[in-house]
Structure 1
Amino acid sequence: MDERTDGERGLRLATRGLYTLILRLMLPLALLRLYWRSIKAPAYRRRIGERLALGGRAPRAGIWIHAVSVGEVQAAGLLIRQLLERFRDEGILVTTTTPTGAARLGELFGDGVAHRYMPYDLPGIVGRFLDQVRPRLLIVMETEIWPNLLAACERRGIPVVLANARLSARSARGYARVPEFTRETLRRFTLIAAQSQADADRLIELGALGERVRVTGSIKFDLRQPASQRDCAEAIRRLWGQRPVWVAASTHEGEEALLLQAHRRLLERLPQALLVLVPRHPERFDRVAALVGRQGFGLVRRSHQDACNEETSVFLGDTMGELPAFLAAGDVAFIGGSLVAVGGHNLLEAAAWGVPILVGPHTFNFAAITEMMLEAGGAARVADAEALAERLGVWLTDAALRAEVGAQGQAVVERNRGALERLLAVIDEALVNKAVSCQPPAASSLHADP
């Protein structure tokens, strides 16, 4: 038994050592990628030192929240507001991986919440960052699992909560390729608040301790848009005019061509229809605009503030922070990343406004929420561009049907509110009962990071 335990411990150490070595070798490439992305999005080359925990010292903060990008920041918004009320004196730090996530945090909180870029998951960098921040608690949003960071927090007695956790079957298969390493890493979370029972089951199957996993639901159901958002949506709708409008939200490479194909088919039936096209990544705005132009559609770009007239058939949403208002102003929403194998995006912003939703075949990133919406009749799935055009033609010519579908989706949102309160209870549990996470470290973690 002891020999097997020693062997397993040695394998875990060797695996994490290999992971760290690979990460070290990839670091120059990661930095080069930032510079490459900065050609089209200059924000990627700014504050690079923060990713190495160098340069400007990170501020002290009792609560550290990591939210990768825009979607995670948006989801964490209500949580951050609650934590600001509870822990204002301790300070809250939010890290993101992308500049768009940083920008969205600034839009939501201004200077009220400190921001830094997430440090790379190398022992020296992570240690330096923790020395600067010295958090009492780390909350990681959704799917971010960083082995060296978790090991460092465990050694320092810092509880870590994986909040709003989701894990698709596809991602679970990837983690299962390194079972011992994954098991050790997941067991370093103090508590895990899973979005659904399916997410919880996958995490436990991979090695998370069942007694540390709670099913709290998705806090995205608790999102409440301010009244000012409705006013903004009404102003945008006046800009578009009285015509059928469908919004394609968070689209990806290769998907826009399919959406334009569907829109061309739709125009044969509804010549006045308007497609509001909102790419997921800002660095792609110009490329998507060029694609629309090459295909001969009348194009207006939101950033140019040009008039949207009867000759406009595509409105490009190339600004940040306006997607919720676009969704509220539209008649039908298509949620991107689902006609191509990206895995889809969050349906709930559109559903909360009572807007009927269409998705493609690839929705594994939001499988549970998507199935709930489909079963309730608040959304429909289409297989391809032709089916999308067909369904759009039906919905955009039947206001009563749109209202019925939209109401079904809105009811799903209302029935599932309350996840935020349950997540806050998990956070309180992690803080109050530190014994869950501050047990004597496993033998493998008594050693220095490789």
Structure 2
Amino acid sequence: MSGSRPWPAPLRLYGWAANLLQGQAFRRVSERLGSQGVEPVRQRERLGHPTLVRPPGRLVWFHAASVGESLSILPLVRLLAPRVQVLVTTVTASSAGIMARRLPAGVLHQFAPIDSGPAVRRFLDHWQPDLAVVVESEIWPQMLRMSAHRGVPLVLMNARFSPRSLRNWARAPRSARAVLGLFARIVTQTEGMREALVSLGADPTRTVVGGNMKASAPPPPDNPEERARIAGLLQDAPVWAAVSTHPGEEEAVLAAHLHLRERLPGTRLILVPRHPERAAEIGALIDRTGLAWTRRSAGESPATAVHLADTLGETGLWFRLAPLVFLGGSFVPVGGHNPWEAAQCGAALLIGPLRDTVAGDVAALEAVGAAMTVQRPEDLGPVAMDLLGRADRLDAMRAAGLGLASAQIGRTEAIARDLLGMLADA
């Protein structure tokens, strides 16, 4: 690829600044990881210092930013792990925790190096990957260029850029061409994204549509015994969930729940904030509504109007218990969250209008009737009321989501064969 071609001035300036500010950048990420319980020795992985031994043999390196991206590659990792060594890097503590629980035996995890020359160099010197797969929009110019310069084939998998990112790259066309030219293969989620990247300078012969891997990822883990216990407590009460909510959304959800309780007095809400550490703040909001509530992290059961599910790793349980789910990050400018996990677990979806990062996913689910957009927070209660009061329509939405998610699964095996072929040719 173009790892040894002249690097455009904006990218050279970026590299100079990233190297100069390495210490400041590391302090910032180290403080964040430390506050989330990551021990200091593992924080230093962000500077490229390994904490694991590189196993012998060919090694495929997957890099994904956070939880959603790392979960999306699990089907590929599971297919490749019996054949080659696999290393997965992420940048967040939450993704590291989930990978520790869900990666197959023998697959390694490290925090990714920050995009400074010394950190990336240490990382590459130790791990010496034979193929690198970066996920969605993880464009770190120094990491990519230094890998390409060493002859590591690069794949951009499940490529997805926000409209804002595309506009920003379009303002720096030489830089866009230089970075996209480093990839031996670009696999986009949609034809529209393929066209957008080709217009920015991606080689059309190396840029293909592969669908959305998040749709073919396995559903989040279930806990059948706990699910049966809670279902017994809920009995026939109408249940809905609000999952991955952010500040400013809980108020809308609680107002919607008050609307539901006026018309269906026994309705239960399972409230699952994106960041469980906000539980005390959210509890205060619930108190102000006058609704009785219980808290999952305190060992309490959902026996009242609201159950605050302030734990990690249990979304699979709530998606399976609640037939109707409002997916957060969509009434506030976060960009939305992965809707496929809810669909895979059989939940019908409600989502707000601010979902740029998952617009294609939501459009696909809406097209088959598995999801609905709620344009205004004040409409959430009436829309939820309409669906909870019409079991036939709710069941149809749930079945449509399951069907569409199931149809995506075969694509992953073809992508795995392609990656193994690239590894053999490298």
Relative to the length of structure 2, the TM-score reads 0.91
TM superposition shift of 1:121: 0.8
Residue 54 of structure 2 aligns to a residue whose secondary structure is coil
What's 2:9 paired with?
14
Counterpart AA for 1:332? L
Structure 1 segments, 4+ long, off by >6 Å, are: none
Q: For 1:138, what is the secondary structure of its paired residue?
A: strand
Displacement after TM superposition at 1:80 (Å): 1.0
Q: Is the 8 A contact 1:245 1:274 kept in 2?
A: yes
Separation in structure 2 between the aligned mates of residue 322 and residue 108 of structure 1, nearest angstrom: 13
Deviates more, 1:33-42 or 1:235-244: 33-42
Q: Do the aligned residues in 2 keep the contact of 1:230 with 1:328 (CA within 8 Å)?
A: no
2:322 aligned partner: 330
Partner of 1:163, secondary structure, is strand
2:369–2:400 CA contact under 8 A, matched in 1: yes
For the residues of structure 2 that align with 1:206 and 1:167, how far apart are their CA atoms?
12
Number of the residue aligned with 1:82:
79
Q: How far is the alpha carbon of 1:133 from its aligned partner?
A: 0.3
Is the 1:301–1:318 Cα contact (8 Å) retained in structure 2? Answer: yes
Post-superposition Cα deviations, 1:30-54, rounded to whole Å, max 9, x if no partner, equal 3343355357523376622110013
Over 3 Å counting, the alpha-carbon distance change for 1:34 and 1:271 in structure 2 is farther
Pairwise mapping of residues 255-404 of structure 1 onto structure 2 (< 5 A)? Answer: 255-309=249-303, 312-404=304-396
The AA in structure 2 aligned to 1:22 is A
Evaluate the alpha carbon distance shift between residue 249 and residue 63 of structure 1 in structure 2; reply closer, same or farther with a 3 A threshold: same
- Corresponding letter in the other structure for 1:281: H
Corresponding residue number in structure 2 for 1:30? 25
Q: Which residue of 2 aligns with 1:416?
A: 408
C-alpha separation between the residues in 2 aligned to 1:165 and 1:235?
41
Distance 1:357 1:55, change over 3 A: closer
Pick aligned residue for 2:37 from 29, 34, 42: 42
Q: Is the 8 A contact 2:239 2:268 kept in 1?
A: yes
Larger mean CA deviation between 280-289 and 416-425 belongs to: 280-289
Unaligned 5+ runs, structure 2: none
**Deviations 1:307-366 (CA, angstroms, capped at 9, x unpaired):** 322xx2221222121101210110201111111121111111121233211110012111
**Counterpart pick for 1:215 among 209, 213, 221:** 209
Distance 1:55 1:380, change over 3 A: closer
CA distance in 2, matches of 1:372, 1:144: 24
Matched, 1:70 2:62: no
Query: Distance between the aligned counterparts of 1:212 and 1:392, measured in 2?
Result: 44
- Output the amino acid matched with 2:88: V
Deviation, 1:112, is 2.8
* Count of aligned pairs: 421
Q: Distance in 1 between matches of 2:245 and 2:414?
A: 32
For each residue in 1:134-155, what CA deviation from the matched residue of structure 2 results, as whole angstroms up to 9, or x when unmatched?
1111111222111111111111
Contact between 1:359 and 1:380, CA under 8 Å: does it hold in 2?
A: yes
Q: How does 1:86-125 map to 2 (within 5 A)?
A: 86-87=83-84, 91-109=85-103, 112-125=106-119
The 1-side partners of 2:34 and 2:220 are apart by: 35
- Read off the aligned partner of 1:166 and give its amino acid letter: R
Q: Which residue of 1 aligns with 2:133?
A: 139
Distance 1:160 1:305, change over 3 A: same
Q: Is the contact between residue 361 and residue 383 of structure 1 (CA under 8 Å) also seen in structure 2?
A: yes
> What residue number does 1:448 align with?
none
Q: How far is the alpha carbon of 1:73 from its aligned partner?
A: 2.1
Do the aligned residues in 1 keep the contact of 2:33 with 2:92 (CA within 8 Å)? no
Deviation, 1:226, is 8.3
Deviating more after overlay: 48-57 vs 326-335: 48-57
C-alpha RMSD over aligned residues: 2.4
Name the structure 2 match of 1:180. 174
CA offset at residue 413 of structure 1?
A: 1.7
Q: Go from structure 1 to structure 2 and tell me whether the alpha carbon gap of 1:174 and 1:58 turns closer, same or farther (over 3 Å shift).
A: farther
User: Kindly, what percent of the aligned residue pairs are identical?
Assistant: 35
The one-letter amino acid of 2:36's match is A
Residues 211-270 of structure 1: CA deviation (Å, up to 9, x unaligned): 111111112222344895555533443344431111112122322222222222222222
Matched residue SS, 2:81: helix
1:190-209 counterparts in 2 under 5 A? 190-209=184-203
Cα 1:47–1:282 change in 2 (3 A) is farther
> In the aligned structure 1, how far is the partner of 2:235 from the partner of 2:18?
52
Q: Which residue of 2 aligns with 1:439?
A: none
Give per-residue Cα distances to partners, 1:255-297, cap 9 Å, x unaligned. Answer: 2222222222222222222221212234434433343334443
Alignment match, 1:238: 232
Name the CA distance, whole Å, in 2 between partners of 1:170 and 1:282.
29
Distance 1:150 1:64, change over 3 A: same
Instruction: Please state how far the C-alpha of 1:426 moved relative to its aligned partner.
Output: 3.0
